Amino acid sequence: MKRFLVFMQVLMLVSGLNAQTINYSYCGYKASEEPIPHAGVKAVVQPVFGDATLSIQAAIDYVSSLPVGEDGLRGAVLLEKGTYVMSGGLKIAASGVVLRGCGEKTILLGTGDDRTTMIRIAGRLDRKAGPVWKLADSLPAGAIQLKIQGHPFKPGDCLRITRRGTQEWIDRMDMNDFGGESKYIGWKPGDDHGRPGDVDVHWDRTVTAVEGDVLTLDAPLTCDIAVNEGSISSYEWPGRITDVGVEDLHLVSLYDERYPKDENHRWMAIEIDNMRDGWVTRVISEHFAGSSVIIADNASRVTVEGCRNLSPVSELGGQRRNAFFTMGGQTLFLRCYSEEGMHDFSTGRNTPGPTAFVQCQAVRPNHISGTIDSWATGVLFEDFRTDGVLAMSNRGQDGMGAGYTAAYSTLWNCQAEMIACTLTPTAPNWAYGAKGQTVGNVEFQPAKDYGLFESQLKQRTGHGLLQAEAMADASDNMTADGITADMYTIWEGMLKSQIQVIPQKMHLQDGVLVRDGKILTGRSRGITWWNGSLRERYTVTAGSCITRYAPGRVGNGFTDDLDEMTDNMVASHTLVTNHHYGLWYDRRRDDHERIRRMDGCVWPPFYEQPFARSGEGSAFDGLSKYDLTRWNVWYWNRLKKYADLADQKGLVLYHQHYFQHNIIEAGAHWADCPWRSANNINETGFPEPVPYANDKRVYMAEQFYDVTDTTRFRLYRNYIRKSLEEFADNGSVIHFIGEEFTGPLHFVQFWLDVIAEWEAETGRHPLIALSTTKDVQDAILADPARAAVVDIIDIKYWNPSGNGMYYAPPGGVSLAPRQYQRLRGNPFVVKSESTVTGKGDFVYETVADYHNRFPEKAILYSAMSGNQWAPFMAGASLCSLPSRLPEHFLETVSEMHPMESTDRCWIMGKPGTGYVAYPLKGEVTLDLSKDKTTYTAQWLSLRGGEPVSEPFTVKGGKNIVLPSEGILWLYR
């Protein structure tokens, strides 16, 4: 190691590497080359009685509708002194809009117990990249020119420059894995399937000059790039916004003072995404659980100046209290203050520099400030003060395998209890004037008597730091800003109407689920429920999850945008989301260990649980224990919002009350489960320590389903009733007992009894599905009282397997569906009386049998995915039929019923309305001898559902025999 350090120090001297290698002064609004502008007031809002959210948003929307001036601004919304109660959040989605208050006396008071962000600044992520070009030469850190042979670029082009973390480089860094069972979190390179690497860095730059093959950029690159590591592409980004600011406000999140670690309140004060050139100045944030200002990776050139984060309220854990946090490029935090944070001032994964924290202070921190995630480059902490730890180091496994967190970064005249600065195997970091205990393999240099950022800025631009002018009292600015009387009312026309069109609810009609006079058809999908990462290689392919939470991050793989999610479902012919709570909250548990975690530094994204934390004790994930009598309001509000959108857009929510995966199979499934006695304050009575089988497996089903325990009985009953109450006004929700459920009869009886009790008390009748093993299902249906509660029979955990045999494992034997599958054989295969041989025919026969025996109930056939013509023709609902079926087809078949079929086709119909005949062999036969109606007929594609023939006429009163050209549809 000593030889290595000497070698690196010699290398630094020979190559001239020092802190001045990177010019950090390109941070902030307009790269700190221009002062933050003052936008003229265009709308004024006064405090109102009651909720002010709509009024302020209306003023923002009004200013957003104005034309952009030559200075890039539309104007400012001025909030006068006073308190503005806000039950919702504000969004600025247009360029040139400023939200301004009058300092500490303009208070935005966030009420409610949801996590709604107070102010979100965000354009659209509609960036479209051009062709990818390769570097002609390697680049050193700090390069502001690059060479590309034969390029098409010109001045003004926007570029996305990427440095890939190759396997060769990861090997040199020794970051492949972190030991133990954690290899899955080692750094990974990109692959041939188009997935990006874990440590790819992306810079957003503009071409300022072109000379032959050489491009000059508007800001330096902050890491060395070998020829085989670099690529460049131009882009267009019409939805990105610019010149947006928030000024002189006091944001306060109300919380439940009975719970000092309450998290049922606002998490984020200000989020910034998909924006370039913006600012947040002199904003106070008080009591927020997450961040005062969080800058996402698609934002750049943002100045955060003179802001304060006060008295945060949350658990002490991961993704909490990251007061001033950036993943964006060229961000500047100047003279900001934070107290009692976790990571008060910090950068995220692969933050593309330069990034600067200048003259900031963290007081009474609970964890470190600094570079907290992998490979941030070009980061400066200057004149930073904290009574905690300031670190640029190798965090190893922490932070989902952060490893080395910084390169080409500098600590300049900083003071902390401990300062950590680490030299990486391939790139330097520097520390000058460190005051406090020091650690790291770099040489800590003496203090400098000048400011690095200021001196670099003066050398580059001729001026020093450009401080935004403070806003004075509103009354002192009436004349200066030309405020007129109409500015108090001109925005009122933008107030959104609260009148809502209530859509028709999905309902049972003669044993079929219909809505707006049509059957519902489309694919079903589950959710992501156990693994995840905020790394780009994961998020680009991540599935959706209604209740997944990545604080401050919105989009695919993060916190899903539910409006966007449901729009995509409609566009992709996806009808159903099958939702259940996640397997565990903390991604550290993805290693399937069963141990207690040493602290609450949980890894996101979080799969939120239905219950709130108590603030007491320590669960196995290191956060406080759950209170099973208090609700995680964010979780339930997310489900409720999805259900409301489903009502509007014709979608469906399968709400699984329980999730059996937690209680059997791998012991890690139970380790963090909220129901586990060690993880809650409610004395659930499950054994501790857990009786793991062979220190690996767990079998908690028998105890979990035991409702003779009075505590569990009361908790389960309360939870089931909550599940019903939450969606009492929605018509898109179907309630199921639980995902992967193979539990015993008595628990299903208990579940239905609680539902019946709630229905009797409230007079409401939600849609209840019976989805269990066949023996339990048949026993419930043979019980008149409990069968009356059931609206829908779901064939899922058993199925006809062909040759007259059923695959029908028994319930209540503590085996999961996939465990049954592994044991699939004679014990679980039951002979039926059927004589059909084909599986499709047997599926048809099975569904038809239940449809005929229980004509008032809908049938689902969830045991089969893909094209579901067989169960549909037998009378099943919510089948995945082809996406291009005519709308009139969906209307007419809602009135039809399965009819006696032949060996040549399945038939459904209603005399006088129409018929559908699905061919099994080469022709379609249809007996219309008793129906003399004349019908219009069309052939529909078997695969796509679209018409494949011109309409023709079929006259009734006789048998019809036609050579098959697809599905025959007769209608009037």
Predicted local distance difference test score (pLDDT) of residue 181: 67
What is the mean predicted confidence (pLDDT) over 800-809? 80
pLDDT tens digit sequence for 342-365: 999 999 999 999 999 999 999 999
Confidence of residue 17 (pLDDT cuts 50, 70, 90): very low
Is the pLDDT reported for residue 380 higher than 80? Answer: yes
Task: Give, in order, the Cα–Cα distances in Å from 645 to each of 544, 635, 638, 727.
Answer: 15, 16, 11, 12
Is the pLDDT reported for residue 642 higher than 60? Answer: yes
Closest CA to 406 of 442, 371, 356, 380: 371
Is the pLDDT reported for residue 477 higher than 50? Answer: no
Closest CA to 750 of 796, 719, 791: 719
pLDDT tens digit sequence for 83-124: 999 999 999 999 999 999 999 999 999 999 999 999 999 999
Task: Give, in order, the Cα–Cα distances in Å from 4 to each of 10, 13, 170, 403.
Answer: 10, 14, 18, 19
Predicted local distance difference test score (pLDDT) of residue 220: 98
User: Which H or E run includes 163?
Assistant: strand 158-163
pLDDT tens digit sequence for 696-716: 899 999 999 999 999 999 999
Is the pLDDT reported for residue 193 higher than 90? Answer: no
Predicted local distance difference test score (pLDDT) of residue 829: 77
Predicted local distance difference test score (pLDDT) of residue 841: 84
Confidence of residue 482 (pLDDT cuts 50, 70, 90): confident
Pair 903, 919: CB distance under 8 Å: no
Predicted local distance difference test score (pLDDT) of residue 366: 97
The span from the CA of 428 to the CA of 425, in Å, is: 8
Is the pLDDT reported for residue 445 higher than 50? Answer: yes
Predicted local distance difference test score (pLDDT) of residue 180: 66
Dihedral of the CA atoms 252, 257, 261, 264 (nearest 10)?
-60
Determine phi and psi for 785, rounding to 5 degrees.
Answer: -65, -45
Predicted local distance difference test score (pLDDT) of residue 195: 86
Q: Is 441 helix (H, G, I), strand (E, B) or coil?
A: coil
Predicted local distance difference test score (pLDDT) of residue 25: 97
Is the pLDDT reported for residue 647 higher than 50? Answer: yes
Predicted local distance difference test score (pLDDT) of residue 4: 28
Provide the token pair at 2. 């000593």
Half-sphere exposure (Cβ direction) of 852: Cα atoms closer than 13 Å: 11
What is the mean predicted confidence (pLDDT) over 926-938? 94
pLDDT tens digit sequence for 810-834: 999 988 888 888 876 667 777 776 6
Confidence of residue 6 (pLDDT cuts 50, 70, 90): very low
Determine phi and psi for 906, rounding to 5 degrees.
Answer: -90, 145
Beta-bridge partners for 385: 361, 415
Please classify residue 419 by burial: count the beta carbons closer than 10 Å to its beta carbon, then call 0-12 exposed, 13-18 middle and 19+ buried: buried
Q: Which has more confidence, 903 or 674?
A: 674
Beta-bridge partners for 523: 574
Helix axes 710-726, 745-762, angle to 10 degrees: 50
> Tokens 């350090």, residue?
5
Q: Which has more confidence, 807 or 313?
A: 313
Provide the token pair at 913. 């309305």
Predicted local distance difference test score (pLDDT) of residue 108: 98
Instruction: Say if pTM beats, i.e. exceeds, 0.85.
Output: yes
What is the mean predicted confidence (pLDDT) over 71-75? 97
Closest CA to 270 of 322, 226, 218, 235: 322
pLDDT tens digit sequence for 732-754: 999 999 999 999 999 999 999 99
Among 152-156, 782-786, 923-927, name the one with the lowest average pLDDT: 923-927
Neighbour order of strands in the sheet with 799-802: 799-802, 805-807, 829-831
- Tabulate helix, strand, coil % of the chain (nearest 5): 20, 30, 50
Start-end of H helices in 225-339: none
Confidence of residue 864 (pLDDT cuts 50, 70, 90): confident
Is the pLDDT reported for residue 264 higher than 90? Answer: yes
Confidence of residue 9 (pLDDT cuts 50, 70, 90): very low
Confidence of residue 5 (pLDDT cuts 50, 70, 90): very low
- The chain-wide mean pLDDT, for the chain, equals 93
pLDDT tens digit sequence for 524-558: 999 999 989 999 989 988 999 999 999 999 999 99
Predicted local distance difference test score (pLDDT) of residue 16: 38
Provide the token pair at 3. 């030889």
What is the mean predicted confidence (pLDDT) over 376-395? 97
Predicted local distance difference test score (pLDDT) of residue 826: 63
Among 83-97, 200-214, 619-633, 797-811, name the one with the lowest average pLDDT: 797-811
Please classify residue 141 by burial: count the beta carbons closer than 10 Å to its beta carbon, then call 0-12 exposed, 13-18 middle and 19+ buried: buried
pLDDT tens digit sequence for 484-525: 999 999 999 998 765 566 678 899 999 999 999 999 999 999
Helix axes 745-762, 774-781, angle to 10 degrees: 40
